[in-house]
Amino acid sequence: MLALRADLLDFSAVPAWGDTGLHGVRWRPDHWLVVGDDGRIADVRPGAEGPPEGARAEDHRGRLLLPGFVDTHVHMPQLDVIASFGAELLDWLERYTFPSERAYADPGVSARGAARFLDALLAHGTTAAVVFPTVHRASAEALFAAAAERGMRIVAGKVLMDRHAPDGLRDDVAQAERDCIDLIDRWHGRGRAAYAVTVRFAPTSTPAQLAMAGALCRADPTLYMQTHVAENREEVRWVSALFPDARSYLDVYAGAGLLHARSVLAHGIWLDDLDRAALREAGAQVAFCPSSNLFLGSGLFDWPGTAAAGAKVTVASDVGGGTSLSMLRTLAEGYKVQALGGRRLTAWVALHAATRGAAEALGLGHEIGRLEPGAMADLCLWDWAVGTVDAHRLSVARDLHERCFAWMTLADERHLAATWVAGRERHRRAAAPAGLAGAAA
């Protein structure tokens, strides 16, 4: 049994857009979080009560304990191309991404890449993710195997691409279907793995492949589906030319049976009101990727407008179009994207979307995203400050929201002290910054 003493922050309800009060915010300073031998949270109690007898106790007073972050859209092989210069989406894929992904046909490359990628997620406080490997079955196998070794909750699937991709990155409908079925049988629902039918994006799949993907979803409604939609205006024009009978980019997926309650659609910048209504009716979610959208110059996503239409919104790093695996850096970029549209993203809406909100959108709210007995002990422990600037800023914060917003904006992976997955420590920083761990307490 493990007992962690810290300031606990999570959410009991959905915070309202623009509200800096404490509605839905569960703030429990100086509490023990007790983890049972089964890897689940067993108890939460005030610090003064002391840990349970026999527990291995760690006193982290002055630090912040959150549920592990959930990244709803990220590419395993794209650590190779993160921070690549000078391209918009379609050129970026051709120039950087596709050449890099070819190497993952090699099982050894995939195994090393999967281990590197998942360890990097953990070192940024992310304990669960919806992940694109590559078109190669070996890459999906390696990702699932590495996640199982670490006990992580991973949603992933072999990428589908049978056209408009270079040699070494195309499959065909029949072989892709066999690979998907084999991977589903091997991994879906085993441990903490879940399979996602993974369409790269509409231009790289023929109508026949899209129909096959939709048939897989209809055959098993517990499967997820992940893809990209309406990220870039040139991409939207290309989809319109390729699928002239579809009303919109999103309608291509709806027509193929790929729009449902377990669909995760990255970006969604250039959707219209009818698209948002379709998302609401299907129960699907948009994964907002602010760092990537800014870096590739794709556009500014309207989060409150999408949410007001009833569509679910979560947050994602989208590495390697995104420039960091840190969900804190991603949320800070999200604030800037919304501010450019005249909208102000609170710390509460942002942090909820990256924890409990993402978990619930994925149908995993019973398992992750909250600090309650019965939930898996997927946890991340943070220093409030690691330098003079953020320590001073937090020391003059006037209320909890101001303090958390400043922390969210100024913090990054250097502030992460430790990460646990199912109660097992999977990352610990070598040494805390001297004298600053509790500077804002």
Q: What is the pLDDT of residues 246-272, one digit of tens each?
A: 999 999 999 999 999 999 999 999 999
pLDDT band at 440 (very low <50, low <70, confident <90, very high): very low
Mean pLDDT taken over the chain: 95
Model confidence at 230: pLDDT above 70: yes
Cβ proximity of 377 and 67 under 8 Å: no
Q: Find tokens 């995104």 and name the residue.
A: 322
In the numeric block, which tokens belong to residue 90?
Answer: 């379609």
* Distance, CA of 262 to CA of 260 (rounded, Å): 6
Q: What is the CATH number of domain 69-325?
A: 3.20.20.140
pLDDT band at 95 (very low <50, low <70, confident <90, very high): confident
* Distance, CA of 278 to CA of 265 (rounded, Å): 12
Backbone angles phi, psi at 304, to 5 degrees: -65, -30
What are the pLDDT digits (tens) for 31-60?
A: 999 999 999 999 999 999 999 999 999 999
Structure confidence at residue 432 (pLDDT): 54
Model confidence at 290: pLDDT above 70: yes
Model confidence at 109: pLDDT above 60: yes
Q: What is the mean pLDDT of residues 353-361?
A: 98
**CATH class of the region 2-68+371-428:** mainly beta
Q: Which residues of the chain are in CATH 2.30.40.10 domains?
A: 2-68+371-428
In the numeric block, which tokens belong to residue 99?
Answer: 């050449």
pLDDT band at 100 (very low <50, low <70, confident <90, very high): confident
73: left (phi over 0), alpha (psi -120 to 50) or beta: beta
In the numeric block, which tokens belong to residue 330?
Answer: 């991603």
Structure confidence at residue 98 (pLDDT): 87
Q: Which of 77-81, 107-111, 389-393 has the weakest average pLDDT?
A: 77-81
Structure confidence at residue 441 (pLDDT): 43
Structure confidence at residue 148 (pLDDT): 98
pLDDT band at 433 (very low <50, low <70, confident <90, very high): low
Q: What is the mean pLDDT of residues 220-225?
A: 98
Structure confidence at residue 94 (pLDDT): 84
| Nearest alpha carbon to residue 137 among 185, 171, 112, 164 | 171
Structure confidence at residue 438 (pLDDT): 47
* Total length of the chain: 441
Q: What is the mean pLDDT of residues 316-335?
A: 97
% the chain with pLDDT above 90: 92
Cis? peptide before 320, omega within 30° of 0: yes
Structure confidence at residue 93 (pLDDT): 84
pLDDT band at 347 (very low <50, low <70, confident <90, very high): very high
Q: Which residues of the chain are in CATH 3.20.20.140 domains?
A: 69-325
In the numeric block, which tokens belong to residue 139?
Answer: 């890459």
- Count CB-CB contacts under 10 A for residue 294: 19
